[in-house]
Amino acid sequence: MTEPGLSSPLLTSQPSDDSQIILAVHDDSGTQSFSAEPRNRHNHIDNHALPHLDNDSDSNTCRNPFEFIGSEELSVPPPCTLDPFVNSTPEVDGAYEVIKILLCLPLAAVRLVLFGLSLLIGFVATLIALKGWKDKHNPMPKWRSRLMWITRACARCILFSFGYQWIKRKGKPVPKEIAPIVVSNHVSYIEPIFYFYELFPTIVAAESHDSIPFVGTIVRAMQVIYVDRFSPSSRKNAVNEIKRKASCDKFPRVLLFPEGTTTNGRALASFQLGAFIPGCPVQPVVVRYPHVHFDQSWGNISLGKLMFRMFTQFHNFMEIEYLPIVSPLDCNKDDPAEFAQRTSNAMATCLNVVQTFHSYGDVMLLVRASQSKQEKPSRFTVEMARVKSLFHTSSGEAVDFLDKFLSMNPDSSGRVKFHNFMRGMKLRACSLSEEVFGFIDVEKIGSITFKQFLYGSSYVMNLPVFLQACQVAFTECDTEQDNQISEQEVCCSFLALFWLILPSD
**What domains are there in the chain, each with its CATH number?**
95-356 (no CATH), 361-461 (1.10.238.10)
Orientation angle between helical segments 395-406 and 360-371, nearest 10 degrees = 30
Q: H helices of 352-394, where?
A: 360-371, 384-391
| Of residues 60, 51, 21, the one with CA closest to residue 38 | 21
pLDDT at 199: 95
Residues of the chain with pLDDT > 90, as a percent, come to 63
CA 110 distance to own-chain centroid: 39
Give me the residues paired with residue 429 across strands. none
User: CA angle at residue 362 from 357 to 368, to 5 degrees?
Assistant: 165
308 CB-near residues (< 8 Å, 6+ apart): 108
Separation of alpha carbons 140 and 148, rounded Å: 10
Ranges in the chain, pLDDT < 50 = 1-59
pLDDT at 212: 84
Q: How far is CA 462 from CA 251, 346, 397, 451, 474, in A?
A: 44, 34, 13, 16, 18
pLDDT at 211: 79
CA 16 distance to own-chain centroid: 54
Separation of alpha carbons 416 and 401, rounded Å: 14
Diameter over CA atoms, the chain: 95
pLDDT in tens, 330-379: 777 778 999 999 999 999 999 999 999 999 999 999 999 999 999 899 99
Phi/psi of residue 169, each to 5°? -120, 145
pLDDT in tens, 178-200: 999 999 999 999 999 999 999 99
User: CA angle at residue 207 from 204 to 211, to 5 degrees?
Assistant: 120
| Of residues 300, 275, 453, 411, the one with CA closest to residue 363 | 300
Is this model's pTM higher than 0.95 or not? Answer: no
Separation of alpha carbons 329 and 321, rounded Å: 24
DSSP string of 119-145?
Answer: HHHHHHHHHHHHTT---TTSPPPHHHH
pLDDT in tens, 194-251: 999 999 999 998 877 777 888 888 888 888 999 888 888 998 999 999 999 999 888 9
| Of residues 395, 403, 457, 335, the one with CA closest to residue 76 | 457
Q: Is 106 exposed, middle or buried (0-12, 13-18, 19+ CB in 10 A)?
A: exposed
Give the side-chain half-sphere CA count within 13 A for 489. Answer: 14
Q: Are 265 and 248 in contact (CB under 8 A)?
A: no
Rg (CA), the chain: 30
